[in-house]
Amino acid sequence: MAEVLVYVDHVDGAVRKPTLELLTLARRIGEPVAVALGAGAEATAATLAEHGAVKVLTADAPEFADYLVVPKVDALQAAHAAVSPAAVLVPSSAEGKEIAARLAVRIESGIITDAVDLEAGDEGPVATQSVFAAAYTTKSRISKGTPVITVKPNSAPVEAAPAAGAVEALSVSFSEQATGTKVTSRTPRESTGRPELTEAAIVVSGGRGVNGAENFAIIEALADSLGAAVGASRAAVDAGWYPHSNQVGQTGKSVSPQLYVASGISGAIQHRAGMQTSKTIVAVNKDAEAPIFDLVDYGVVGDLFEVVPQLTEEVKSRKG
Ligand code: FAD
C-alpha cells in the first residue's frame, strides 16, 4: 500500500486535533507516515500510532524552535525524498498552507488548499473543496507530481486505529534560507483559555446586534459555558468591539465546527463564506426576515440580550 505523509502540528509533543483528522483521511488513501519536527517530536509518536500512523519520522534541531517555515519545508522535502509518498497532507492553518505551498514548488507538484474531504480515486486522491463563498462544492485531483493537499480543521472525524507508529530519525540538511533567517523578538499573545477559532468544535459569534464591545461579555459567557471559541462578524470587528483575529468570513477566518451559534448577525454572503460548512447552525436574531435564517438548523427570533443569557443559564444548569 502506498504511503501518505502527514505533517504533524504539535505543541511540545501534544498533537493538535487537525493532525489526527488528517490521519483519518490519510488512511483512506494509503498508510500514514507522520512527520513530527522540533521539541517533543518523539513524544508525539504514541498518539500518532493510536490514530493510524505506521511510522513517525522525527527530527529536532534549533532551527525548528523559532516558528519559521523554511526549516520545516526542508524537513518535509527530506521526508518526501525518503518515502516517495502517494500524497502529502498538511493542516490548513496559515503556517500549514505556507509550508505546503513552498513544498509543492520545491518538489514540482500541484497543490490543493483548504480541502474539506478526501477520498481515493483511480488516478490519485480526490479532494473536495467548498468554493465561491461556499456556493459550490468542487472535486479535484492533482495531475502533476506528488499531490500536496491542505485540509481544513473539522473536516474529518478523529478515529482510533492502532498502528505500529515506529519512530525513525529523519536526517535533514537545512537550506541557506533556513539558516539565514533569525527571529529577533517575540510577543506572546495573552491567552483567553478558549479553543483556537479554526479548530474549535463549537463557535459562538456576535455581530452588529451585540451593539458594543462591553456586550460581547454575553457572547463570551455562552461560549465559555459550551467550551467554545468566540467569533465576530466584520461589522463587529470594524466597530472595534472584537479583535480581527476573531473575524469569521471571507476576509476573516473560515470555520467548520460541529456547532455554530450566530447572535445579532444578519447572514451576509461574506459572513456565510466563513461558516456555512458548520455542521449545525443556530441563529438568534430579532428580525424574522434576516437572511441567516435561510441557513440555520435552529433559529430563534428574539432579542439576543434576552435569549443568549437564558441559553447560557440553561447550558450551565444541564452541566450541573
Ligand atoms: P448587520 O448586517 O448590520 O446585521 C446585524 C443583525 O443583528 C441584523 O440582522 C439585526 O436584525 C440583528 N440584531 C440587531 N439587534 C439585535 C438584538 N438585540 N437581538 C438580536 N438580533 C439583533 N462580513 C463578515 O462577517 N466577515 C467577513 O469576512 C466579511 N468580509 C467582507 C468582505 C468584503 C469584500 C465585503 C464587501 C464585505 C465583507 N463583510 C464581511 C461584510 C458583510 O457584507 C456584512 O456587512 C457583515 O457581515 C454584517 O455584519 P452583521 O451581520 O454583524 O451586521
**232 in a domain, yes or no?**
yes
**Is 191 part of any domain?**
no
Separation of alpha carbons 212 and 235, rounded Å: 11
If asked whether residues 148 and 275 sit together in one domain, one would say no
Tell me the three-class secondary structure of 210-261, residue by residue.
Answer: HCCCCCHHHHHHHHHHHCCEEEECHHHHHCCCCCHHHEECCCCECCCCCEEE
Q: Quote the pLDDT of residue 307.
A: 98
Whether residue 272 is contained in a domain is answered as yes
Note down the domain range covering 165: 3-179
Instruction: Summarize pLDDT for 128-175 with one digit per residue, the tens.
Output: 998 876 778 999 999 999 999 999 888 899 999 999 999 999 999 999
Asked whether residue 258 is marked as a ligand-binding residue, the answer is: no
Q: Which atom of ligand 1 is nearest to the CA of 232?
A: 25
> Does a structural domain hold residue 241?
yes
Closest residue by Cα to atom 2, ligand 1, is 266
- Domain-located, residue 192: no
Does any ligand 1 atom lie closer than 6 A to the CB of residue 250? yes
In a domain, residue 116? The reply is: yes
**Distance (Å) from CA 209 to ligand 1 centroid:** 8
Q: 302 and 229 share a domain?
A: yes
Q: How far apart are CA 288 and CA 306, in angstroms?
A: 16
pLDDT in tens, 232-242: 999 999 999 99
The verdict on 105 and 217 lying in the same domain is: no
pLDDT band with cut points at 50, 70 and 90 for residue 16: very high
Q: Are 138 and 219 part of one and the same domain?
A: no
**Residue after which a domain boundary falls, among 179, 212, 235:** 179
Residue of 222, 261, 266 best suited for mutating to test ligand 1, as the one with most atoms within 8 Å of CB: 266
Give the mean model confidence (pLDDT) for residues 27-54. 97
**Reported confidence tier of residue 319, pLDDT bands at 50, 70, 90:** confident
Output the average pLDDT for the chain: 95
Residues 47 and 158 in one domain: yes
Same domain, 221 and 165: no
| 109 and 232 housed in the same domain | no
Residue 194 falls inside a structural domain: no
- Whether 268 lines ligand 1, by a CB cut-off of 6 Å, is yes
- Is the ipTM of this structure higher than 0.95? yes
Boundary-marking domain end, from 179, 210, 232:
179
CATH number at residue 46: 3.40.50.620
User: Does 37 have pLDDT greater than 90?
Assistant: yes
299 in contact with ligand 1, CB cutoff 6 A: no
Based on the fold, state whether residues 158 and 271 are members of the same structural domain. no
As for how many domains the chain has, the answer is: 2
- Please report the pLDDT score of residue 154 as a whole number: 81
pLDDT digits (tens, 9 = 90+) for 162-178: 999 999 999 999 999 88
**Domain boundary at 128, 148, 179, which?**
179
CA distance 72 to 64: 7
CB of 249 within 6 A of ligand 1: the answer is yes
Q: How far is the CA of 271 from the centre of ligand 1 (A)?
A: 7
Query: What integer is the mean pLDDT of 84-99?
Result: 95
As a whole-number percent, the residues of the chain with pLDDT over 70 amount to 99
Question: Is residue 208 within 8 Å of residue 165, measured between CB atoms?
Answer: no
129, 246: one domain: no
Both 218 and 284 in a single domain? yes
Residue 190 pLDDT more than 90? no
pTM: 0.81
Q: Is 58 annotated as a binding residue?
A: no
> What value does the mean pLDDT take over residues 210-218?
98
Q: Is 271 annotated among the ligand-binding residues?
A: yes
Same domain, 87 and 209: no
| Ligand 1 atom 20 nearest Cα | 285
Say if residue 228 is exposed, middle or buried (CB neighbours under 10 Å; 0-12, 13-18, 19+): buried
Say if residue 267 carries a ligand binding annotation. Answer: yes
Residue 253, domain CATH = 3.40.50.1220
Residue 320 pLDDT exceeds 90: no
pLDDT of 136 reads: 86
Radius of gyration of the chain (CA): 21
Termini Cα distance of the chain = 49
Q: What confidence tens digit (pLDDT) does each residue in 242-283 have?
A: 999 999 998 899 888 999 999 999 999 999 989 988 999 999
* Residue 142 domain-assigned (yes or no): yes
Q: Does residue 147 share a domain with residue 263?
A: no
